[in-house]
Amino acid sequence: MARPTSTALAAAGARSLGDPYLPTSGNGGYTVLHYDIDGDYRVASNRLSATTTITAVATQRLSSFSLDFAGLVASKVSVDGHRSAHLTQTARKLVVTPVTALNKGAEFTVVVKYSGLPKPVRSQWGDVGWEELTDGVIVAGQPSGAPSWFPCNDHPSNKATYTIAFSVESGYRVLCNGELVKKTQRASRTRWEFHSAEPLATYLATVQIGLYETMHVSQDGVPQYVLLPEDLRPNALADFEAQGRMMALFERMFGEYPFDDYTVVVTDDDLEIPLEAQGLAIFGRNHIDGVGGSERLIAHELSHQWFGNSLTVGRWKDIWLHEGFACYAEWLWSEESGGMSADECATSTWARLNRLPKDLMIGDPGAARMFDDRLYKRGALTLHALRRTLGDDIFFRVLREWVATHRHGTVSTPEFVALVQSHSPSPVGALFAAWLDQHTLPKLPRRAPR
């Protein structure tokens, strides 16, 4: 590959993107365009052998660069077909020194061959990433678990496209992000290959492996499926019956569903909480009871396809733009389905939060509290306060424009505030400052006149 000439001195890329919430995650000096992950996995022994090919662009002249990588061992790394001059692996980083420096603006390819027994990454939020089930695997990477199974630039600001292929024993079903483009069986093993044309953040990349059957939820509009153990089918039919109507509601409120289809995986194991990935969500056996006990959570995870997956925060401090919106979607579904109205949900939630400690500022909650349930609820209250202030017509017009403008991109709180202000007949800065940037809990504003 021809490289542009440069007189600038080469320097090592930073080993962090400077996000204070995850100071050791992400890497500077380049931007990833595409990941091609090809893995061979043995379920019984939890043995993974894989090759990840990364296509990236240098954003500075690079003498070396790093990748986030944890728990597995890299055996060979090459850059543009040349074996790297030097390779260093630490507990959380793979540092690569090319034979020749990479010039700013140059597109380059990194191939990493690696193997080992994948395991979750330890974090202050618990173990995240690759997780063995009783008989299978889930990957739940939020916020820093992606390096547990592939080398990457692990920060949501660097979204990329993906090709993911996994070979496993033929009795197992594999699901990854995107479209299944090829399935090949050889002897007792089957290779599943998926391609995601829509860019996604590393924490939303996933592999799901299990003894699953396929249940069709809805073929009216967006195709929707559930992968699950066969014995859970009767309960799941009842529990996911409403999901098609949820999809219709959210498309009216938020705009077109951003992906080709939506699949829910129900593991044979119990899980503490459901989890989202791009184009899919993961529930545990314990969430399926046949009487709609997880209906609120089903709505929450579905709404993340708009807020979190298509629109992804560029910095973790803005996570209320994921979780506050998903919590508000629960209230919208409650109202649509004949339960409490969104206004009743907001009033009840405000009263409950008012009895709890007021020591959380959701516009910058701090890393330890970025998944605090109060952030979810107060984020939803922020949206309801905005809805009361603007009125329904302007509020939902803003949401649809927000989703359409930033489709498959990254977002920030200042961008959302600016969009709201462009539609509001009066200043909204004080409203956002009160709800996002202060510890005290503001009172809900009166409803805008119709």
Q: Do the bridges between strand 312-313 and strand 410-411 make them parallel or antiparallel, or are there none, so unpaired?
A: parallel
DSSP state letter for 260: S
Q: How far is CA 276 from the centre of its chain?
A: 6
Return the bridge partners of 78, or none: 83, 111
pLDDT at 224: 97
- Is the distance from CB of 372 to CB of 393 less than 8 angstroms? no
- Strand 173-176 and strand 47-58: the pairing is unpaired
pLDDT for res 219? 67
Q: What is the pLDDT of residue 4?
A: 42
Q: Fold for 213-305, please state it.
A: Zincin-like (3.30.2010)
- Strand runs labelled E in 124-188: 126-133, 136-140, 160-169, 173-176, 179-186
Check residue 450 and give its pLDDT.
59
pLDDT at 77: 96
Half-sphere exposure of 8 (CA within 13 A, CB side): 15
Give the DSSP letter of residue 230.
G
Q: What is the pLDDT of residue 369?
A: 96
Kindly give the parts of the chain with pLDDT less than 70.
1-7, 219, 448-450
Q: Alpha carbon of 319 to those of 275, 306, 308: distances in Å? A: 15, 14, 8
Measured CA to CA, the distance from residue 350 to residue 345 in angstroms comes to 8
Alpha carbon distances (Å) from 404 to 246, 251, 255, 257, 392: 19, 12, 7, 10, 18
Query: CA angle 351-354-360, nearest 5°?
Result: 135
Beta strands per DSSP E along 177-273: 179-186, 189-200, 207-210, 213-218, 224-228, 262-266
- Distance from C-alpha of 331 to C-alpha of 384, rounded to nearest angstrom: 10
The structure's pTM equals 0.96
pLDDT at residue 40, rounded to an integer: 98
For the chain, the structural domain boundaries read 11-207, 213-305, 313-436
Please answer whether residues 61 and 98 qualify as being in contact, where contact means their C-beta atoms are separated by less than 8 angstroms.
no
Chain-centre distance of CA 111, in angstroms? 24
CATH code of domain 313-436: 1.10.390.10
> What residues contact 38, with CB distance under 8 A and at least 6 apart?
50, 51, 52, 53, 165
Q: Which of 302, 272, 248 is nearest to 138 (CA)?
A: 272
Fold that domain 11-207 belongs to in CATH? Immunoglobulin-like (2.60.40)
Q: Are 383 and 329 in contact (CB under 8 A)?
A: no
